[in-house]
Structure 1
């Protein structure tokens, strides 16, 4: 009987150390997850106003929430709530990965359906300053003009209203931006990119969705080991108790 207890105690100590190592690794991974979430929300969300839905941000919010984890639980009564905490975080990470994958699949259709209308109907319109800023940044950063091509701007309410000052495209379409440069839409003056900004924006968002999805699913897989360690530790502590 004494030999059995000694083996059980040794196994329990090993499990506690394994769980401690797991927690250290997962804490570091949690920081990485939080960094990805903050990076998406704070630095890469400039173009959210150009999208019809907020699904793109949902995985980032979930990653930020689920990046917090508890410490090592060395007592039997704490292993059950700790396991539940791990399970909830695991489910959140999986949901983030699934949302990223779903939005990845529907992104092309959404952009084709809504991006042109957003750019032509809201650019330089009252109350849509965020869209104006996002469009200018999009066209300059990705060196493109219009949703599909520069001709899209012929349907712009801003251009048609006469408030554009003779411009046929926004100044942000120009290769060298100066005030009023959008009055000439020759290829030597503005960006004439095949596929327009829609292709550039789609590629940009898809790259970030791949990162978000991979991080979410990857951390969820790692958490499975934590839940296994927790279950084993609970059983070991239960044997010692009895």
Structure 2
């Protein structure tokens, strides 16, 4: 029995270190997701789960509980071990929620962004928030319009120009200096020709897949931790600490 408890303690302490590292990874992914995806999600007409917030919150909690897991295993504190096991179950649920929701919502990304891009073009300069985001997206992804730069020609913004149906925003220009964008020359020289829909949907969809994989990986890992925690807690007397020989 003493050897078994010692081995379980060793395994659980090693797992807690991996658990702590996973929490740090989740925190980093959460920060990255918030910085890289939040801007693009503004343009979508579909509602998505607040994945970055879930990752940031769970990652921070896992870092704290990773240390407590090592402490509870080292001191053989039965009550704390059971609490640690309950927390691991909560992380398992959170990981499954992040992973499955992102996998499921990837299917709705195309429709959400296509509609959102059209809305942003129709309300260009009227909705300042979406205007700034759309300009930033066109510059960063080197794109213009939804399917192509010609999508701007039918927009209310272009229709109000002195030469209607022939203008695109400055954010479509490859270089600001010397860019003829309002009106465009016949060959549309100096602007991005490709639309943003394909680029932005692929970018967000791919990154959501990576986040989903990370979330599911953390969830699966918790099964091992819950088993180790339960086995060790079951072998510790109700008094709190085992006295192994």
TM over 0.5: yes
Alpha-carbon distance in 2 for matches of 1:165, 1:209: 39
Where does the alignment leave 5 or more consecutive residues of structure 1 unmatched? Answer: 1-7
Tell whether 2:23 aligns with 1:40.
no
Tell whether 2:88 aligns with 1:86.
yes
Q: How does 1:91-170 map to 2 (within 5 A)?
A: 91-117=93-119, 119-125=120-126, 128-162=127-161, 168-170=167-169
Higher mean displacement: 34-43 or 46-55: 46-55
- Residues 179, 47 of structure 1: alpha-carbon distance in 2 compared, 3 angstrom cutoff: farther
8 Å CA contact 2:44, 2:115 repeated in 1: no
CA offsets, 1:145-193, max 9 Å, x none?
1011112112322223349999710011112223763121533221112
Normalised to the residue count of structure 1, the TM-score between the two structures is: 0.85
Pairwise CA RMSD: 2.3
Alignment partner of 1:14 out of 7, 11, 17: 7
Alpha-carbon distance in 1 for matches of 2:106, 2:87: 29
8 Å CA contact 2:117, 2:197 repeated in 1: yes
- Residues 165, 34 of structure 1: alpha-carbon distance in 2 compared, 3 angstrom cutoff: farther
- Secondary structure of 2:50's counterpart equals helix
Distance apart, 1:238 and its partner CA? 4.1
Where does the alignment leave 5 or more consecutive residues of structure 2 unmatched? Answer: none
Equivalences, count: 228
Distance apart, 1:109 and its partner CA? 1.9
Tell whether 2:79 aligns with 1:77.
yes
Normalised to the residue count of structure 2, the TM-score between the two structures is: 0.84
Residue aligning to 1:217: 216
8 Å CA contact 2:146, 2:197 repeated in 1: yes
